[in-house]
Structure 1
Amino acid sequence: MDKLQVVVEKNKCIGCSLCVKTCPAHNLKIQEGKAQVILEDCLFCGQCEAVCPRKAVTVSGYDHAPQEKNKEERLNPGQVLNTIRFRRTVRQFQNKPVPTEVVKQILEAGWMTHTAENKRDVSFIVLDQEKERIEKLAVNLFRKIKPLADLINPLARNNVIDDHFFFFKAPLVILVLAEDKTNGLLAAQNMEFVAEANGLGVLFSGFFTMAANLSPKIKKALQIPKGKKVAMTLVMGYPSVRYLRSVPRKEMNVQWK
């Protein structure tokens, strides 16, 4: 990848100042009726390029060029709310592989997710051939610590840590890695929406995420890059269970000030 830089083509710029008003780093100004970059150091978030009506501002050095937005597309609010309302954690999966094109859509949803300060620190590990071996490492770890957990948490005593305790024989497991955990969680949420849209059930595995971040053996097996951690583990597949209604909730806690 070439060096990132913001480029303004003066012959195209009409001095509308939309890029100046949009830039979160305040790194653009209007001078002599044209947009001008103030510092070479920038967030390189691409907001200026996305808003420019004349394509006068570009961010060069990225591997993928921006796509044109040909029409305004809005999600149906009621359908979005129902997706959230009826969404359930799934731990029962069909023995049916997830098509590669669906996996790529899910990964793209995470890849496109916005990140704080445009860090773009999110990456992914898709567990395929190594899935059973990696799960076994986590199972061995949890079997060692279970006696202590049983003493602390009565509910832990009901858990049987079998060979499929983490992944439930699901066909697809994706680890979301990030330097900043919040960025990873945002990506994981968007990935879940795309998975749900493709008819998949999803489990956010906090247990495996914990194991992966605690165990040097698992970290080594996964080859997690230095400075990154597992923000979330997504266990996915076509569900073999159907939920017929939402679950009860307490009253919403909200303050209007």
Structure 2
Amino acid sequence: MLVALSMANRFDVFNAVQEPFADEAECASFLRTARDRLGVLNLSYWFLGSSSAVPDRMTWYSTYDQTYTAIYMRDFSPLRDRAFQLSFTRLLPLDWEEARAGDQTVEHIHQLAERFGIGRHGISIPIRDTGLGDALFSINFDCDSVQWGQLRREMANEAHLFGHYYHQRMKRLLGAPAPSTAFDLSPREREVLQWAAEGMTAGQTARLLKVSESAVNLYAARAMSKLRARTKTQAVAIAVRNKLLQ
């Protein structure tokens, strides 16, 4: 049974080293250390903005099993995860129970996560940083449903504080927002991403636009390059976040 102590008592976020993270290895290592000192199951940090220092690739640091994170990015990503949409409609943390309610995709994601040792209970803290971009910090717990209600009440405020503390240490690594010229997509590139966002394959998009499938793939590749995305799914997510699609 997880005994809920004050997060501030178990990890003093004010007297801990407050220098910005030097590199990606340090911020990832810090999450693992914090997870163990806090006595929680997992910690996760997403940066959803655009950065010139760290190319926008849906920056994600977590203590989750790496096989799970690879499957999540391949099959879902934040674009299909309703938890992200819900988180940014509020100021307060999102209880994962609320995200699962009535949403089969989120339920499927959580069932997959449980197979890789990720607990069913957690909270996600939205972080809005004007001029830099949005972030989402999540804390995952190992407890049953009866314990969860009390644990959430006791730790919500401290979890919120810790999420913002971590984001502050990330800011120098993330750097300044990327120039808007990096998002100068052509009309055809926007069309291809728009139809990809609707679930169309390259072949379906080609038939719809009356062009070859190779042309569609070329437009998608150009859009990915301009948006500094590693996959078409990431390019779509970046375009949606930056309001480049209708």
Bin of the TM-score, shorter chain as denominator length? under 0.3
Question: TM-score normalized by structure 2?
Answer: 0.22
> Which structure has the larger Rg?
1
- What TM-score do the two structures reach when normalised by structure 1? 0.22
